[in-house]
Amino acid sequence: DGGITQSPKYLFRKEGQNVTLSCEQNLNHDAMYWYRQDPGQGLRLIYYSQIVNDFQKGDIAEGYSVSREKKESFPLTVTSAQKNPTAFYLCASRLQGPGQPQHFGDGTRLSIL
Amino acid sequence: RKEVEQDPGPFNVPEGATVAFNCTYSNSASQSFFWYRQDCRKEPKLLMSVYSSGNEDGRFTAQLNRASQYISLLIRDSKLSDSATYLCVVIGSGGSNYKLTFGKGTLLTVNP
């Protein structure tokens, strides 16, 4: 089945540790996105990528890093500089162009140990 | 004015009721509009796109008013399974057509 796969579903981070969240899609979408959602809050854009080897900061990029070496993959690293990483992380992708919706993975819940 | 604003909610309605949500947007050049549904602790899922002429999908009707810069979602004959958070999404035009802006969502609870 075509779709977006995020892993792991749950992740725990120790203080001072970097952790990487995986996002893979087989929808042949050009654009990929990472969002963070806190309890009772809306989605906030961390990073997005419109094409391989290119990505842009979103509204809350500090403490995060990404790479886009392959069209299918857009991993997100939560660095130790992100002091409040506990949240629900959502990866999404879409075809470029007007009228194209986003499709989401089923998310990763990150907590601090 | 925020880029995308939704009714604050929450909405609590009985089964069978009709409920409507509105969402306003600030960028008059916005091109594409969607409604998503998000269940508790799950990812958002596309409910429907919103077309200029309005569109319907079963019990759901979406409308766009470009002059007043808002979109709406009407749910008729509410079911218990409609309980969720409804998010409106707006896509910018031209150079920013990559960026989607999400509203914060409106929580709907349908009661027996």
pLDDT number for residue B94:
60
A104 vs B43: CB contact, 8 Å cut-off?
A: yes
Name which of A41, A43, A101 is nearest B34 (Cβ-Cβ). Answer: A101
The label of the residue with tokens 């916005």 reads B30
The label of the residue with tokens 């002091």 reads A83
3-class secondary-structure state, position B94? helix
**Residue A79: is it exposed, middle or buried by C-beta count within 10 angstroms (0-12/13-18/19+)?**
middle
**% of chain A residues with pLDDT over 90:** 81
Provide the pairing of β-strand B84-91 with B60-65.
unpaired
pLDDT number for residue A96:
84
End-to-end CA distance of chain B: 37
pLDDT band at B98 (very low <50, low <70, confident <90, very high): low
Most confident range (mean pLDDT) of A97-101, B39-43, B99-103 is: B39-43
Which residues on chain A are in Cβ contact (under 8 Å) with B98?
31, 48, 50, 96
CA dihedral A7, A13, A17, A18 (to 10 degrees): 20
- What is the DSSP annotation of B41-90? TS-EEEEEEE-TT-EEETTEEEEEETTTTEEEEEE-S--GGG-EEEEEEE
Residues 6+ apart with CB under 8 A from B58: none
Q: Is the pLDDT of residue B93 over 70?
A: no
Contact present, A9 and A109 (Cβ < 8 Å):
yes
pLDDT number for residue B3:
87
Mean pLDDT of A4-8: 97
Which residues on chain B are in Cβ contact (under 8 Å) with A98?
31-32, 91, 93, 97
Contact present, B48 and B35 (Cβ < 8 Å):
yes
Distance, CA of B17 to CA of A95 (rounded, Å): 36
Residue A111: CA atoms inside 13 Å, Cβ hemisphere, count?
Answer: 5
The token pair at A3 is 């779709």
Most A CBs within 10 A among B42, B91, B98, B101, hence the mutation to make, goes to B98
Q: 10 Å Cβ neighbour count for B4?
A: 23
Mean pLDDT of A55-78: 96
Q: What mean pLDDT is reported for chain B? A: 91
